[in-house]
Amino acid sequence: MHSNGAFRERVRRIALKSFDVTFLPDWESLRAAIPDTPPAALLLVDPYSPGNREGAQLAQELRALMWEFPSATVVAAMELRPGHSHDVRTLGEWGVTDILSIGEEDTQEAMTRRLRSAQGRPLQNLLQRCLPPSMSGRSRTLLMTAAEVVSLGGRGRDLARALHLSERTVLRWSERAALPPPRRLMAWMRILLAASLLDDPGRTVLSVAYACGYSSDSSLRRAMQDFLGTIPTTLRREGAFSRASARFLEELAEVKSWGKEMWKERSAEDGRLTRRQRQRLKQQGLPVNPPRGRSRSPDSDD
């Protein structure tokens, strides 16, 4: 939605090659369309009210939209003129995801790169704020990629494709990073995505269910009952993402604890086998090699 006709035509020519594009005439039409859009939808808007550009004011309709749908990925397309830095800061405070500079970033390569970088970011940003600082690089890579894949409508196998790895390798990475198995991890990402959308006052439980790939609101209700022990309406009153992410972190801690115990058992078994092998070599009068190095911790990055 943009008042600049030349820019709209440029978007039409460029974005249609990589995106499904819909043009809307006004803020009310945009507001009505958001509940039915997928989580990965990008809203490219003119952040100013119609009128004289020299004394233009940021549109209060945009502020109201961001309050009603804080999870929406909104990119403001505007000319970055001298003296407008305050507007950029204000848009950030409202929750606008990114700025596209008209006249500087409206080539095909620059626009596609800017829009692609914004996709999947809201859920990733929420995760980044709640994950513990001590989490390993491999764990963060898996979680951030899973969040992006789910935001784009992907499922279990799409995680391996996004990482350019085999499914077996992703499973091994998850084990070493002390994370739930990939299918469980992707199911958690869908729960977290749904929870983030439930925090939008303008969305119904049914629209959240459809947006996150559930067949009905009852399917979403069952999934949240299984993972969180509560239903969407109760979760919404308590702060949906806050509670869901807290339970997710609890499971990560549980999985990490289980992984360490399992690793200790494996290491102990390796140690017993090594001693037996050394004793056998001694009995046979053969040279004994030094004990094998310590097994690597499941928290390591490699």
State residue 265's pLDDT score. Answer: 58
Same domain, 90 and 188: no
Q: Domain boundary at 119, 139, 154, which?
A: 119
Across the chain, mean pLDDT equals 83
Q: 4, exposed or middle or buried, with CB in 10 Å at 0-12, 13-18, 19+?
A: middle
Same domain, 95 and 132: no
Please compute the mean of the pLDDT values over residues 11-26 and round it to a whole number.
82
In a domain, 257, yes or no: no
Percent of the chain with pLDDT over 70: 83
In a domain, 173, yes or no: yes
Same domain, 20 and 114: yes
Same domain, 135 and 111: no
In a domain, 65, yes or no: yes
Same domain, 166 and 222: yes
In a domain, 147, yes or no: yes
Produce one character per residue of 111-129: b if its CB has 16 or more CB atoms within 10 Å, e if not. beebbeebbbbbbbebbee
In a domain, 266, yes or no: no
Same domain, 142 and 206: yes
At 47, which CATH number?
Answer: 3.40.50.2300
Higher pLDDT, 267 or 246: 246
Same domain, 130 and 233: yes
Same domain, 36 and 102: yes
- The reported pTM is 0.76
State residue 286's pLDDT score. Answer: 45
At 171, which CATH number?
Answer: 1.10.10.60
Q: What residue numbers bound the domain in which 193 lies?
A: 122-250
Domain total in the chain: 2
Under the banding of pLDDT at 50, 70 and 90, the label for residue 302 is: very low
In a domain, 197, yes or no: yes
Same domain, 31 and 61: yes
Same domain, 126 and 246: yes
Same domain, 42 and 139: no
Same domain, 85 and 129: no
In a domain, 283, yes or no: no
Q: Domain boundary at 89, 119, 149, which?
A: 119
Question: In three state form, how does the secondary structure of the chain look?
Answer: CCCCHHHHHHHHHHHCCCCCCCCCCCHHHHHHHHHHCCCCCEEEECCECCCCCCCCCECHHHHHHHHHCCCCEEEEEECCCCCCHHHHHHHHHHCCCEEEECCCCCCHHHHHHHHHHHCCHHHHHHHHHHCCCCCCHHHHHHHHHHHHHHHCCCCHHHHHHHHCCCHHHHHHHHHHCCCCCHHHHHHHHHHHHHHHHHCCCCCCHHHHHHHCCCCCHHHHHHHHHHHHCCCHHHHHHHCHHHHHHHHHHHHHHHHHHHHHHHHHHHHHHHHHHHHHHHHHHHHCCCCCCCCCCCCCCCCCCC
Higher pLDDT, 261 or 15: 15
The pLDDT tens digits of the residues spanning 33-74 come to: 999 888 888 899 999 987 655 567 899 999 999 999 999 999
In a domain, 133, yes or no: yes
